[in-house]
Structure 1
Amino acid sequence: MATLAGVFIFLTIEGVPGFFQEEQFYKGAGNFWGYVDHLLFGTVLAATIALIVAVPLAFGIALVVSHYAPKWIAGPVAYVIDLLAAVPSVVFGLWGINLFAPKMVPIYDWLNAHLGWLPFFEGPVNPVGTTILTAGLVLAIMILPIITAISREVFTQTPVLHEEAALALGATRWEMIRLAVFPYAKSGMVSAVMLGLGRALGETMAVAMVLSGGGGISFNLIASSNPTSIAANIASQYKENTPGTLHVLIATGLVLFLVTFLVNFAARWIVAGNDRKMAR
């Protein structure tokens, strides 16, 4: 708590002046909120894409490892997933920019050709693949081990008697999981998702390397007009700062801190509410 309070105090003292700087420090945005709105949008959009991709995969892998796969398969799979969590974000960034992004360009061309009537794929397609969708997919791979590991642990903690009782009543394995495992593990599943979301919101290097941001608010996922994230913007702009722009960057960090805090607060509130229901 002391460390958290210290970080908040520092961000507040150094960041509040960033809300009231001259227009020149906001890079043509006019005011602070005009400067940060597209950065916040890019942060949330990339994290949302990551969650949409990672959460179903993570829960599926966790279920296979904990309830379906034999031990000689489950052990190595769990080890490989856990090993991914130890890979530095800069390595994911290098892989994303040099290998993954170029491979995604043909897919983006196909999406634009067949689904271009949707605002998400209307183009023009980024020729090198460094888009918000690429960044979101890289983030999904990065948060996958966190969500999978926690989900696997809470799934395996389901009382065996609950599972055996469901099977004894004639439930299939999937019905047993749906009726016995998921209700018991709901709090842990929410916590796993929120931890993954926190990682995605605060990720810096991978997003900075993969995403060629600079645009405004746009739902086009495959174009070059995507905004970057708050953390990536701080990393890319920090070396070229002046006292005025430094306060602005710290102010954006304060916004990110508050967003992350609210996400964690919401997760705790959801988990606490579910625990109260389970206790009744």
Structure 2
Amino acid sequence: MFRNRNPQRELDRKLNLFRESFILLIADGRYPPERQQRLYQAAQQAGLDWQLARRYVVGEAKAFFEDSIRRVIADGRITPDEIKDLLSLQRRLGLELDNAPLLERVFAMAEQKIHAMILERAAYLSNKKIVEGLKQNISEFSLPRERTDRLYALLDEQHAMAKLMVGELPILQPSVTLYKKEICHLDIPASFLPDGAPAKASASGKFLVTSERVMFLGLENPFAATWPEMKHCKMHAHGVMLRYKATGGVLFCPNPQYVATLIIGASHVYNRARMPAPSNKRLPDLSNGVDL
């Protein structure tokens, strides 16, 4: 009379054989789909549950996956195909739910690379075709949603700034009466602090940029400067420093980058004779200021 084998011992034997086969298949640093298929078929023939078997070698799978990531990181260059291959390998290894800190490092390197590329080409981003091409490049990297969304937002922002810089200015209905044929490009709430005045002297009002003038309208500290009178524009964290005529001050406003870029772009249009458009790839460094 034959004794039945111990079921747990038999399962352990099969799992150990599965581990040996898995280690053998990844020994050369590769684990393509056809090798996974061979391992899957062997597990099926042995009567092993596939998910159970993969969990049994999760330690070896994680180590192999981390080694694969390190090889990608080693040269410092991340390509869309490399990320796609890593994500495919992660799925084959059953590690989709693994935190994989090294994979996050790959994503961070790719995001940094694209971020730099967008800024490097910023002055060309008034061209919609170039923007669409960069959006396609971003999608090809298969980055996590939040990283992709950040890059799309940066690209849209730089596209808007580049359009302003080449003189593609918005046209608005002003909240105040302007000269006949005067075009309004900006009309926002703001505060203005003239040079030499104490901080408490900052006054609230409206700031407008038009085809004729740059002006602040308020009960205190109002000013209006024609384009030939505008001298300098510099962005700060919370506002824009303006030099006009023989004086100036700081304009506190929402989105100082947009406001400063619009002023510079309008100056390209209305002071064209003395202010040629930028020829380099990058947009001007607004924190250093731009002469108008």
Tell me the TM-score normalized by structure 2.
Answer: 0.24
Higher helix share: 1
Q: Highest relative contact order (Cα 8 Å, sep 6+), 1 or 2? A: 1
Which structure has the larger Rg over C-alpha atoms? Answer: 2
Q: TM-score, normalised by structure 1?
A: 0.24
User: Structure 1 or 2: larger strand share?
Assistant: 2
